[in-house]
Amino acid sequence: MSYFHETIWKGVPKFLRRVDTALKNIGINERIPYSAPVIQFSSWMGGDRDGNPRVTPEVTRDVCLLARMMAANLYFSQIEDLMFELSMWRCSDELRACVDELLRSSKSDAKHYIEFWKQVPPNEPYRVILGDVRDKLYNTRERARQLLANGTSEVPEETTFTNVEQFLEPLELCYRSLCACGDQPVADGSLLDFLRQVSTFGLSLVRLDIRQESDRHTDVMDAITKHLEIGSYREWSEERRQQWLLSELSGKRPLFGPDLLKTEEITDVLETFHVIAELPSDSFGAYIISMATTASDVLAVELLQRECHVKQPLRVVPLFEKLADLEAAPAAVSCLFSIDWYRNRINGKQEVMIGYSDSGKDAGRLSAAWALYKAQEELIKVAKKFGVKLTMFHGRGGTVGRGGGPTHLAILSQPPDTIHGSLRVTVQGEVIEQSFGEEHLCFRTLQRFTAATLEHGMHPPVSPKPEWRALMDEMAVIATKEYRSIVFQEPRFVEYFRSATPELEYGRMNIGSRPSKRKPSGGIESLRAIPWIFAWTQTRFHLPVWLGFGGAFKHVIEKDPKNLQMLRDMYNQWPFFRVTLDLVEMVFAKGDPGIAALYDNLLVSKELLPFGESLKSKYEETKSLLLQVAGHKDLLEGDPYLKQRLRIRDSHITTLNVLQAYTLKRIRNPDYNVNLKPHLSKDYAESTKPAAELVKLNPKSEYAPGLEDTLILTMKGIAAGMQNTG
């Protein structure tokens, strides 16, 4: 929330002014209409359940009310500035009639306003109109505050703004009146900025997306069909599920009453829908189904929305994540679009989300990137066939292993025809600070997204040649095979991963916003993508990013040496392939197998050391093959600026790595001692306090004093040093 408050709120109108200026500079004397927001924001904070037990229906409700209260407060603090500016008496007849009506019906209630503003003179018409807006904003804020604190409010709803149209109406009236009286430069000042803020942020500040796993909806449906004594939904075929869901969606009977047998999980799902039904519809964005695979996953959510009396149902967005799901996505979406009921419901618009993190964890970066590329192409074809406008929602992480990378390049490397002037992208928790932490960063981020989206539409990237596609298909099969043979099939891998990286400690510390695993008992497949990537980043080995590339390159080059030239052509002519390889090259420039060897020697058992060595030789082989394909002698030779920045950082990160490796050794082996002479300041050395008293940093830690804090500081420092640059 603080990012909206500190930078985005003022950043959006400032950015739109820059766009207006850019248009003027090329001879277009029209402003971007405030009624068509260029950029809109949604959030998952407090709505993303996906395996997170801490996000309860109560949390969702509180987050929405808090956002509404903040929005009203931000508008309220600006409305008096606007009243101060618009002191003129000349106005249009339309505005004068509205002022007369307000003066006739107004009750004098000066609230807690500054003395200067308690009485608005009737001969200052704009101030009269804006004074009424101010009163309603005051009530809107107070109502949200009371609902948040007590669950009830004494402020009557009719004295507040309940929808954004009500809020825009008086502001638009002032704008029209100023233009009619020849005061357009005044109208295009703070008032235009204010109108743009209202159009962008509405009354809810930021719309909340709800995300839940498809399995949880299946559990609810299963409980309902058993309650109705018509069988087990879980065991039905996809065809039977669709048939039943559609017959219920077409009918009107309620499916269950209070006597439905509910587990804690089922209650949680249904309560979430009740919260959606209870709160104003503009509080919410999309309902995202993670691990979606079939059309029935979407229809089940539609039915639950109707069953829980959601008056304006949220748009339902399937999220396809794993390799097999991405391959099956076009067929699932085609099946959805061929259902008449569903086509009528969506009104020609559909959003589909694709997951970069889990696909990378499932199949490796090369295969995942190619699967995501092909899935988008196929989904667009399906949408065109049914006449539906498809918006792709890119679930990118901050790190390269989770689909991250420089925004501009990432957008420009998308397949042709997949953006069409609109796309949605996640800005994940680990990179919000570097995208929106300060005003100039916020401005640059908005600029990058807008510029790249426009450029993609005006100069679409080239489509790959058929022979390039065939080679990519062949490489993807080999890459997936090599990746899975090590990550999922090698019996020593899990033990090595847990010893050689800080993954276990990371999961136990109070550092993440949700549990590190979806299911506490599972192995690598249930581990979330963030700790999976994060753990390897800490040791500078970055295994999830590069594993699979080397095997794929080696296979196709050995099969036919001419393929090396084809790979070079692909690198030079095809933006998607170039960006994919450049990002891996950047990761190699940040990696250091020598540091990974230090972790191995300190933390890994003797039996597993040879396995670690074999992975390091794969690392070196992949690096030399990558340079060969890119036609580079050294890493980052095409980007000396970045190379220099990484060189400056290196000594700092290496120091943190050494500290972290020894700290992990002490945590895992309490008897291990390192003879270090700490450098203490003169004040500390002369103080009479015992050392134990000086190290009361985290009294709740299960580790020896200071160790957990050292670990967290090194983790954050290394993560910052490894962050994507460029």
Q: Closest by alpha carbon to 146, among 65, 26, 59?
A: 65
**Which residue has tokens 């603080």?**
2
Tokens linked to 198 = 């209202």
Other C-beta atoms closer than 10 Å to the C-beta of 485 total: 14
d(CA 356, CA 464): 21
d(CA 538, CA 430): 14
CB 227 within 8 A of CB 118: no
Among 361, 374, 590, 623, the one annotated catalytic: 361
Q: Closest by alpha carbon to 313, among 340, 337, 345?
A: 345
Q: Closest by alpha carbon to 486, among 546, 417, 420, 558?
A: 546
d(CA 92, CA 102): 16
Tokens linked to 351 = 């959003």
d(CA 38, CA 444): 15
Write the DSSP symbol of residue 90. Answer: -
First and final CA of the chain: distance in angstroms? 26
CA angle in degrees (0–180, nearest 5) for 429-432-435 = 155
**DSSP β-ladder status, 42-43 and 207-213:** parallel
Would residue 361 show up in a list of annotated catalytic residues for this protein?
A: yes
State phi, psi for 320 to the nearest 5 degrees. Answer: -100, 125
d(CA 448, CA 455): 10
Tokens linked to 667 = 């945590």
d(CA 595, CA 656): 11
Say which amino acid occupies 494.
V
**Which residue has tokens 């419901």?**
345
Q: Closest by alpha carbon to 631, among 582, 589, 591?
A: 582
Write the DSSP symbol of residue 464. Answer: P
CA distance to 538, 647, 722, per residue, from 589 (Å):
15, 9, 10
Helices and strands of the chain, counted as H and E runs: 33, 7
Other C-beta atoms closer than 10 Å to the C-beta of 230 total: 11
Write the DSSP symbol of residue 191. Answer: I
Say which amino acid occupies 65.
L
CA angle in degrees (0–180, nearest 5) for 656-708-676 = 55
H or E stretch covering 355: strand 349-355
Long-range pairs, 615-618, Cβ under 8 A, ≥24: 615/486, 615/541, 615/543, 618/547, 618/550
d(CA 440, CA 615): 42
Q: Could you tell me which residues are beta bridge partners of residue 213?
A: 290
CB 425 within 8 A of CB 396: yes
Q: Is the dihedral of CA 463, 464, 467, 473 positive or negative?
A: negative
User: In three state form, how does the secondary structure of 395-448 look?
Assistant: ECCCCHHHCCCCHHHHHHCCCCCCCCCCCEECCCHHHHHHHHCCHHHHHHHHHH
**Which residue has tokens 């964890």?**
361
d(CA 559, CA 553): 10
Tokens linked to 131 = 């004074």
**Which residues are the active-site residues?**
361
